[in-house]
Amino acid sequence: MAPDLIADPETDPTATYAVDPALARRLAKRVVAAPRAPHHTSRTPLSGAPLAPLPQSTRADVAVAVDAARAAQRAWARTPMELRERIFLRYHDLVLERQVELLDSIQLESGKTRRQAFEEVADVALVARHYARSAAAYLHPRRRAGLFPVLTQSVEHHHPRGVVGIVAPWNYPLTLAITDAIPALLAGNAVVLRPDQQASLTALHAVDLLTEAGLPESVLQVVLGDGPTVGQAVVDLADYVCYTGSTATGREVASSLAGRLVGYSLELGGKNAMYVADDADLGRAVEGAVRACFSSAGQLCVSVERLIVHDAVADEFTARLVEAVKQMRLGGDLAYGPDMGSLVGPTQLERVSAHVEDARAKGATVLVGGRARPDLGPYFYEPTVVTGVTAAMDLRDDETFGPVVSLYRVRTDEEAIRLANDTDYGLNASVYSRNVMRGRRIATAIKAGTVNVNEGYAAAWGSVASPMGGMKQSGVGRRHGREGILKYTESQNVTAQYLLPITPVLGMSQETWAKVMTGALRALKATGRR
């Protein structure tokens, strides 16, 4: 059920808030900000009601947070891995136990449905468990082949970078605030987190639970404020930066860090494609397409915005899809039931509407949807399927980030692959075929960081032992798996040389030494030495 709207006379005697003011005040204490800092109040997209006032940080506050995190990191890096693991296994349990309050917060801030909010709860639990049980193996020193067998012994080590800055977006308030922090912390780093203003309450909930699980408070600092000021300060001061957001801003982040030679990972935009082959199970493909296109009202980096359908099944698939979309239930209930929720705010609503109207004006056909639903809430927009989209339309190549998908027909797998790759982006893709080997073959030809076979996005996203990230303009680096934790470390090669130095010995001339080395190199190759 939705929480009561409770007045908070201490901050605004005329306002009512969608979040209990006592809870908001408790969470606000976790923000690094001056005692009399100005407050920002975001609004829930479900109704437009104010959520809760939260203090805003300044650039100076970010510097204080980074300094505190850096001081705490030294002790945290010395904390035994077994203790770090126990904290995050406890966190796994707390997230599942307290999921109702987290689900409420996610829905209130993002506008998504209960079911889609649960994806975030499950994701955080999965990531916490995976890294709690795998971090030690990922980070353990590894013996590597030395120059000479036995005589040269090389060991690869991984050290924490220091303070990791995470700049997180609004569309996945829980997942993107905390799942990048989990491996960074387990690797021995401290974290300074700047969640989007629209996602601050959920992020603070997540941090509150981490502290309850046993994480030292100073190891994870939270700053709040706008991107150009507070987000940029995190980029300017951290030892490594993890950014999730638009490609345009990602380029700016990379440019800012280039001068300091600081590492970064970026998950950026996408124009993701799903291919329905001529042998696909159409019932399964339609159900998958509905989820892949309209989960979180399309405000998901890996959601599908282009449906590529083999001509042999296009008529039947299209008819089934349109009927399935017509049956979707829209709503803002803080309970399970609706199939799709709201867009997050006026900017997204304007962008979605503009893309659809531009396509209409230039000759595209809207098969279903294509209009706002103010009767449901200020930013609701119907799930929309468009056909006849051409390169002259913004919908063809620009990321919409909303519940709109364009439909294309092809005659061959090769044509489908070319169309799927005909984009500057390469984040996620999907292939539906009853022949899984055929599906895998097509998938490997698509230039995207993750490709699902007979699923839209959840299979690859939920396989947290495997890397996830973008090709081309969709990003740099990976989250999840070994890459998702090692990126937060500096690798070091420590090599010991035994008995003989790597130089002429016992009066050997340089020419003789070179001949001996030549023979040794040939012998190593002949014996299969790597």
Strand 240-244 to strand 263-267: parallel, antiparallel, or no bridges (unpaired)?
A: parallel
Which residues lie across from 496 on neighbouring strands? Answer: 153
CATH number at residue 192: 3.40.605.10
> Domain check: are 276 and 300 in the same one?
yes
Which of these three, 249, 268, 287, is where a domain ends? 268
Same domain for 397 and 301? yes
Last residue of a domain, one of 251, 268, 285: 268
For residue 474, give both structure tokens: 């969709």
Which residue range is the domain that position 196 belongs to?
Answer: 54-268
Residue 17: per-residue pLDDT: 85
For 361, the token pair is 């004006």
Beta strands 272-276 and 428-432, pairing class: parallel
In this structure, are 101 and 237 located in the same domain?
yes
Residues 75 and 160 in one domain: yes
Give the pLDDT score at 405. 98
The residues annotated as belonging to the active site are: 267, 301
Paired strand residues for 307 = 274, 407
In a domain, 510, yes or no: no
Judge whether 417 lies within some domain. yes
Asked whether residue 258 falls in the same domain as residue 285, the answer is: no
In a domain, 16, yes or no: no
Same domain, residue pair 136 and 179: yes
Query: Does a structural domain hold residue 204?
Result: yes
- The set of residues, in sequence order, having a beta carbon less than 8 Å from that of 128 and lying 6+ positions away, is 88, 89, 91, 92, 95, 182
Q: Is the domain of 254 the same as that of 358?
A: no
| Pair (226, 317) in one structural domain | no
For position 458, which CATH number holds? 3.40.309.10
Give the pLDDT of the chain (530 residues) as one tens digit per residue: 333 333 343 455 556 788 888 899 999 999 999 999 999 999 999 999 999 999 999 999 999 999 999 999 999 999 999 999 999 999 999 999 999 999 999 999 999 999 999 999 999 999 999 999 999 999 999 999 999 999 999 999 999 999 999 999 999 999 999 999 999 999 999 999 999 999 999 999 999 999 999 999 999 999 999 999 999 999 999 999 999 999 999 999 999 999 999 999 999 999 999 999 999 999 999 999 999 999 999 999 999 999 999 999 999 999 999 999 999 999 999 999 999 999 999 999 999 999 999 999 999 999 999 999 999 999 999 999 999 999 999 999 999 999 999 999 999 999 999 999 999 999 999 999 999 999 999 999 999 999 999 999 999 999 999 999 999 999 999 999 999 999 999 999 999 999 999 999 988 999 999 999 999 999 999 999 88
Domain count, the chain: 2
Residues 290 and 244 in one domain: no
Phi first, then psi: what are they for 429, rounded to 5°? -155, 170
Same domain, yes or no: 294 and 437: yes
pTM to 2 decimal places = 0.95
| 73 and 203 assigned to the same domain | yes
Report the pLDDT value the prediction gives residue 13, as an integer from 0 to 100.
Answer: 52
Q: Which residues contact 417 (CB under 8 A, 6 or more apart)?
A: 275, 442, 445, 446
Please choose, from the candidates 108, 271, 106, the residue with its C-alpha nearest in 3D space to the C-alpha of residue 172.
106
Which one-letter amino acid corresponds to residue 25? R
* pLDDT for the residue 16: 77
Question: Same domain, yes or no, for 86 and 187?
Answer: yes
- Give the DSSP letter of residue 328: P
The verdict on residue 444 lying in a domain is: yes
